[in-house]
Structure 1
């Protein structure tokens, strides 16, 4: 693959880092400066996809029951809630963000900032009314991610970070990281992790290898594949589909000539972890590609380009 022009293309974007590998071999590695490879930085909502891996592992181990288990098993207060629909919310509803809670992450109700200002985040989420039946529609929510982190703590008897260290970070050699926690000490399921770009890449490589690292099967291939399958359309303004705390989409080359042609246009499917302000981990299984991009600029300072869709994906498609 020819990445010779990629550096000049992404230079105006002023990314913090960009890493691209194929079948475990690094093809392209860019850092804004030489300090960045060793610096940990916010991955924001990429934390959600890491949490998804931990939930899958806990299910594999029998620590957490299957995805169709009602969350009232862990939060019995829901059995007495005036809205009987809350008793129908399952672990899978949390993973696909279809629990039905009345929630707008930012803007509108500003649910996320209100949660982080509350004294007990779990209580705050569980007390929110339902705006629709569970399983009906995806509504992006770091609140349901916090419920998943709390479930993992209850079921494993360990902090979420300790479970991650034992089951994923240790085997992958990820030692340099930090992870925020709520007032009760439950690590933030929806955000709050800081990592190095190379360690984000290791996590993506674990998924490309269907949960296998070296001689160890850290996540069962069956569970991993289920977690990245499209489960529900993403809620606007998001695009594509959503799985178990993973985004999924298909990149397709569209041009006037191809639109007039009846033959299918070239395309590839990919799934990705996405964090606010330009943190991404992309996996393209058919091409054995893992790509990581990170950024650190404020919204008004960020370039409007989507580096993966605008620059990287066309190169991959040509190859």
Structure 2
């Protein structure tokens, strides 16, 4: 009989902790598989977890009716645990969801996680001496948009786009007009994003805006004289050993930086490890450490569950042993997540198929707290 829920990979059997106390071993399971993708694996107890509690936490989450597809737990540069299950999913252009089996080599839509990737790429460009002035007016990069060169619009800077505080009137993800969807088919989507009415002074209010990320990706391509996908491949993905990925294009074939990225969850964890290592991967400094710090600095209140926003990264806090610890994350619609907890040197990746479901997003965000609660040291 085939079980509806399959844990393909979970925790190893564990024995004695370093302190000499006996920890109950999980009833069954294996360590994360070695599949030649650059990851080493680690025993959960040696990595500072209560192994039985961690396994129970992951199995409980995988058994809930929240269309969870994968959870990957990484600490100190090694994989500690991962689970996968089948679930319903749909791509950016799909009208209906279909049931799929997910595993360690399955690509998954990560949606707006791509926004945080764009931020990392901007950091890489700054390391090359490009895009060094965040106070530069965005419209300096678009002299061809002559009708938009007005003082109020020229007050909008690169930093305002990074913090989603441009002040443009913009709606997405809710009822009524969805400006994000118009980016899929506009011949010049950057013009559409920059031509929206101005609703607030720049820098004063957070308003989630995928158009701003599209413009950031376009500015990156102009400043580096390199198409987005090529720059991502050479400056980020290849050095990280990420070889299997896609970036879905719009109806004109241009990669949708703000929503179209597809990755393996284990490769998403590499991005989390890069952030935890302050932009360094092995012997390579791919992104300046100061850019990582700036990106993860809480800046504006998002109005969503006490979170704040940095440079295309979400931030918040959690409890561990009576302490309040900061976290940062790349968020994507459907509950795609790359969480990093710097004080614990911990990364947790989640993929799911709950597109547009805020209740599931909140449950997935609480899963981070549940996993952190299993950390002993």
What TM-score do you get using the length of structure 1 for normalisation?
Answer: 0.89
- Name the SS for the 2:191 alignment partner: helix
Q: Deviation of residue 110 (structure 1)?
A: 1.6
Give matches, 1:206-245, under 5 Å. Answer: 206-234=274-302, 236-237=303-304, 239-245=306-312
Structure 1: 4+ residue segments shifted above 6 A: none
Work out which of the residue numbers 351, 364, 371 in structure 2 matches 1:307: 364
Pick 1 or 2: higher relative contact order, CA cutoff 8 A, min separation 6: 1
- Choose 176-185 or 75-84, whichever is displaced more: 75-84
How many Å separate the matches in 2 of 1:65 and 1:79? 24
Work out which of the residue numbers 143, 155, 165 in structure 1 matches 2:211: 143
Q: Deviation of residue 275 (structure 1)?
A: 0.4
How many Å separate the matches in 1 of 2:149 and 2:160? 20
Q: Deviation of residue 289 (structure 1)?
A: 0.2
Q: Which has the larger radius of gyration?
A: 2
Question: For 1:271-316, what per-residue CA distance to the aligned partner results, in whole angstroms no more than 9, with x for missing partners?
Answer: 000000010000000000000010124557985762342x441442
Unaligned runs of 5+ in 2: 1-48, 87-100
Is 1:280 aligned to 2:337, yes or no?
Answer: yes
How many Å separate the matches in 1 of 2:106 and 2:70? 11
Checking the alignment, whether the CA contact within 8 Å between 2:70 and 2:83 is kept in structure 1 is: yes
Q: Which residue is equivalent to 1:125?
A: 193
Distance 1:129 1:164, change over 3 A: same
Q: Which residue is equivalent to 2:73?
A: 20
Q: Deviation of residue 41 (structure 1)?
A: 1.3
- Name the SS for the 1:181 alignment partner: coil
Q: Which residue is equivalent to 1:48?
A: 115
Work out which of the residue numbers 134, 159, 167 in structure 2 matches 1:67: 134
How many Å separate the matches in 2 of 1:119 and 1:270? 38
Unaligned runs of 5+ in 1: 254-263
How many Å separate the matches in 2 of 1:94 and 1:76? 18
Q: Deviation of residue 181 (structure 1)?
A: 2.9
Work out which of the residue numbers 25, 29, 51 in structure 1 matches 2:82: 29
- Name the SS for the 1:37 alignment partner: coil
Is 1:316 aligned to 2:316, yes or no?
Answer: no
What TM-score do you get using the length of structure 2 for normalisation?
Answer: 0.76
Residue correspondences, number:
307
Distance 1:63 1:171, change over 3 A: same
How many Å separate the matches in 1 of 2:260 and 2:276? 24
Q: Deviation of residue 117 (structure 1)?
A: 3.5
